[in-house]
Amino acid sequence: MSLSPIDLEVFRHLFAALAEEMGAALKRAAFSPNIKERRDYSCALFDPWGVAVSMGDHMPVHLGAMPMSVEAALTALGPLASGDVACLNDPFHGGTHLPDITLIAGVHLPDGTALGYVASRAHHSDVGGSTPGSMPLAREIFEEGLRIPPVLLYSRGKRNEALWATVLANVRTPQERAGDLDAQIAALNTGSRRLLEIADRRGANETLEAMGALIAYADRLVHAGLELIPDGCYRAQDSLEDDGFGTGPILIQAALTVTGGSLTIDFAGTSPQVPGGVNAVAAITSSAVRYVVRCVVQALLGEALPAGGGSMSAVTIEMPPGSVVDARPPAAVAAGNVETSQRITDVLFLALAQALPDLMPALSQGTMNNTTVGGTDPRTGEPFAYYETVGGGMGAGPEGDGLSGVHVHMSNSLNTPIEALEHAYPFRVTHYAIRRGSGGSGRNWGGDGLRRDLEMLAPARVSLLSERRVHGPAGAAGGEAGSPGENVLIRGGVEESLPAKATFSIDAGDVISIRSPGGGGWGPSE
């Protein structure tokens, strides 16, 4: 390697800043509160062969799966020419779930030399399907919205107007979707410009060499971190409570075998895919694995990996085909991205706690408390579609209490401000507070969950996809479990408990109350 360590560190920060600036451009230009306020998006830089070089500090569930999206696009379409933009959301061809639309563009020098790819992924508040928000209680993917295989949205700089019109004709909020897609294009343009500036300033050959060197460096760090885990086989299991159609509990089981600096994760024994939408595709499972490995390696080494995380060449994942961790068509998968990803993460942390009991935290809330509401806004007469995940309790760790009311693990979004909600939608937020005492007790206490009540100002259709409504997240090292969450319908002042997963209609004046779980405690109470 001709690059000095100082040069490599400079490139590391240049590439990280590129991805972060892409995210800032996307946030500023977006139309929907889900992207502009909650920041439900992710951006990344890839080398000319589609290997991740740098990722923004965005959504782990997006970022870990994005390499498979780029791979799927390049496999289907070949190398992207200057001005090409690939578009996809199909979970069975590189996507995660249908609301997450990924755009990918190639970056080239004027002489045609490929510098790499930039990608942006954003969760769109509606992509069609049987209910507003495209997160319904569904039995097959056809109910969840419009599927887009890897296709060219732009070819040599010219937009595919037929595809554009087809997408907008199949969603409830076409103006908002068009604005958010344009914002993703803006993010790609920002990333492309910055990469060309880096190559112009530092040299194209040096820039490409730095990409490869950072990927190799991250792989060496992963190998070194895994060497610090005692060799052995560590097994754990946990369950999703139900799929919304009476199937449950749904087992997720993993065996982690550590040998030297390598890790094999085998999900044998995991439940077959189920009728409801908690099925996760391979990209989601890979994303959860990537996140956990990164967390553990960084904690063991006391050093952050380069933002791309490397190719994870030291990690092997074995997933039973047709299971809830490797679902096959036509499985419904909307909740696999948001709920099952969290449970996979929980299982992996439980297994690693056997090897590293003084390092691993208690379980966090283990759900994203997905809430979608749609209907006709009486203020405008136009359709609206609202989507949000609600924060909860973080699990406590050996060094301190868990945080309260935050998004954890596979989610890294914000809670939408009340002002933004009430401005954009026909809602009134009547209650928004920390659920004091919902975190598990222990030497260090788990973080508390949230309560958020939305009063409808117009009739609406609601979908809820949530977990940890029966059993709260487990504590660790003798700590107590956090309190489970609860979904409640308040009608005429009377509370009615709702299922964890449901799709239903409500009237103006009705209140949906989401009460999220607390995190587990760590260590016995003193």
Asked whether residue 69 is domain-assigned, the answer is yes
Please give the C-alpha separations between residue 442 and each of 15, 354, 482, in angstroms, as whole numbers: 41, 19, 10
Percent share of the chain, pLDDT over 70? 100
Q: At what angle do helices 5-29 and 204-227 cross, to 10 degrees?
A: 100
Q: Residue 65 is part of which domain span?
A: 5-219
Chain-centre distance for alpha carbon 294: 15
Last residue of a domain, one of 202, 219, 236: 219
- Separation of alpha carbons 184 and 103, rounded Å: 7
Task: State the total domains in the chain.
Answer: 2
Assign 267 a pLDDT band (cuts: 50, 70, 90).
very high
Give the pLDDT of residue 243.
Answer: 98
**In the structure, what pLDDT confidence band is assigned to residue 7 with cuts at 50, 70 and 90?**
very high
Q: Tell me the C-alpha distance between 429 and 455, whole Å.
A: 6
Q: At which of 173, 199, 219 does a domain end? A: 219
If you search the block for the tokens 């209609």, which residue do you land on?
505
Q: How far apart are CA 370 and CA 299, in angstroms?
A: 30
Q: What is the CA radius of gyration of the chain?
A: 22
Over 70: is that where the pLDDT of 499 sits?
Answer: yes
The pLDDT confidence band at residue 121, using thresholds 50, 70 and 90, is very high
Residue 385 located in a structural domain: yes
Sign, Cα dihedral of 310, 311, 313, 316: positive
Mean pLDDT of the chain: 96
* 483 in a structural domain: yes
CA-to-CA separations, 28 to 17, 63, 154, 401, in angstroms, rounded: 16, 20, 22, 34
Q: 29-47 pLDDT, tens per residue? A: 999 999 999 889 999 999 9
pLDDT tens for each residue of 367-387? 999 999 999 999 999 999 999
For residue 61 the two structure tokens come to 């569930």
16 pLDDT exceeds 70?
yes
Average pLDDT over residues 468-494: 97
The set of residues, in sequence order, having a beta carbon less than 8 Å from that of 36 and lying 6+ positions away, is: 27, 28, 30, 420
Query: E-strand spans in 12-51?
Result: 41-46
pLDDT at 398: 96
> What does the pLDDT look like over 277-297, one tens digit per residue?
999 999 999 999 999 999 999
Q: Output the pLDDT for position 1.
A: 55
Band of the pLDDT at 59, cuts 50, 70, 90? confident
- Which pLDDT does position 63 carry in this prediction? 74
Burial of residue 526 (CB within 10 Å: 0-12, 13-18, 19+) is exposed
Residue 247's pLDDT is what?
97
Q: What is the mean pLDDT of residues 160-179?
A: 98
Reading the block at residue 277, the tokens are: 């939408």
pLDDT above 70: residue 196: yes
pLDDT score, position 60: 76
Residue 424 lies in a domain: yes
pLDDT at 2: 83
Residue 21 counted as domain residue: yes
Could you say which DSSP state residue 200 is in? Answer: H
Domain CATH code at residue 139: 3.30.450
Choose one of 188, 219, 250: the last residue of a domain: 219
What is the mean predicted confidence (pLDDT) over 150-166?
Answer: 98
* 309 within some domain: no
User: What average pLDDT does this structure show over 301-315?
Assistant: 91
In a domain, 493, yes or no: yes
Position 167 confidence tier, pLDDT thresholds 50, 70, 90: very high
What angle in degrees, to the nearest 10, is found between the helix axes of 341-355 and 282-301?
A: 40
Query: Does some domain include residue 239?
Result: no
